[in-house]
Structures are given as C-alpha cells and as structure tokens.
Amino acid sequence: MKILGVFEKGFVVLKIDETVYLMDQHAAHERVRLEHLQKTRPNLVRYKPSEQLPFIASAKDLVKLKSFGVKAALRKNGTTVKALAECHLEESTVKLVRGLLSWEGSELDYLKMRACHGAIKISDSPSISFLESLYHDLMRCDYPLICAHGRPTFVKMGSLDERLDHNHWMNPKEPIGERVNRWLLGCRSVFQSS
C-alpha cells in the first residue's frame, strides 16, 4: 500500500498493487474508533477514590448509568462514580454522566456519536504516518467498508492501466487534485472504449 496523496482535503488516494482506492479519512477513523469503543466497553476501570459528582442522581439515573457502563452510588452528600467502562475514559466524568443522563437513544447510538465526534474531520490534515496507521487499523476492523453511520470508508477507483498515462499520474509536482481528475477522465475513456 502506498499513499499517493490527499484529494479534496479528506479523501486519501491509495495505491494497492496496481489499483487505486479512495479512503474517506473521517469515515475510516470513525469506524476504527467505533470498533475500539465497542471492544473496550466490557472493561470496567475502578476509581480509587471514587469521584464525587457535583449533583445528585436518582435511583432511576443509576440504573440508566449502569446500563451504559458507569457504576455509581448514592451517598448522603451526593452521587459518586466508582467505576467506568474503559470506552468512557476519554471524557470527563461529569460531562459523560450529564450526557448519558440526557441521552435518549441506545448505547450503540451513543458510541456511534462519540466515534464520529472524536474522529478526524474532512478538512483536517493528518500526517502520512497517521494515515498509514489509519489504513492498517481500518483493515483490522470487523466492518472496514462502512463508517458507524453506513457511509463507505473505502472505494475502489480502478486499475492503473497501460492505456493511462502513468508518468503523468505519478508526477509529484502536479497537485494531487489535478492528477485524480486526469486519472478519472482517463478511466472514463478506458471504460467507454472497453
């Protein structure tokens, strides 16, 4: 796998063997994050000492929190969090608990939202090494071809064919957007003449 560049600030152009693919960096990172959150969900991390919340939760709230992987208890002076699912550790406890108590959807929908909000954005400019790692992490996912919301993460654009101008496609001095557009036009003419 070789990264040829980034198209339109978010679509990574990859060459694998003699085939070119586009990887949506946001959708791919969202999928990787979702599967990581799901895999770390069963792991409870205990707090020592317990964290005191600045508000008092009800017994009903504690049941809801427990269903989302937050172990809390009511005390005379308020609510304390004793343990969290590992997938929740990247959020502040107060923000997490407030968010979960106001959340109306399923736990999976909550994890999808977290995966999306924490993923790199289309306009971000991650390093080539990050994108290479992202590709490899995506290929290890159970469902690598769709993001948490069902959008494609990875699309085959076509083969590098001898009828296409390889030297021009690989010219690093030409902007990647112009190379992708030229390549797409070349593919269109190749497929129309086939």
From 125, 128, 148, select the one nearest 28 (Cα to Cα).
148
- 0.85 surpassed by pTM: no
Of 56, 89, 117, which marks where a domain is finished?
117
**Residue 78 falls inside a structural domain:** yes
**Residue 148 falls inside a structural domain:** no
Answer with the residue of higher pLDDT: 185 or 47.
Answer: 47
Note down the domain range covering 87: 42-117
Q: Does residue 170 register a pLDDT over 70?
A: no
Q: Does residue 191 register a pLDDT over 90?
A: no
**Residue 136 falls inside a structural domain:** no
Burial 60-97 (b: 16+ CB within 10 A, else e): ebbeebeebbbbbeeeeeebbbebbbbbbeeeebeebb
**Residue 54 falls inside a structural domain:** yes
Q: Among 9-18, 59-68, 169-178, which stretch is predicted with the lowest mean pLDDT?
A: 169-178
Q: Which helix (H) or strand (E) holds 155?
A: strand 154-159
**Residue 29 falls inside a structural domain:** no
Spatial contact of 52 and 80, defined as CB atoms under 8 Å apart: yes
**Residue 57 falls inside a structural domain:** yes
Shared domain for 111 and 169, answered yes or no, is no
Query: Cβ neighbours of residue 139 under 8 Å, at least 6 residues apart?
Result: none
> What's the structural domain count of the chain?
2
Longest distance between any two alpha carbons in the chain, whole Å: 78
Distance in Å from the first CA to the final CA of the chain: 27
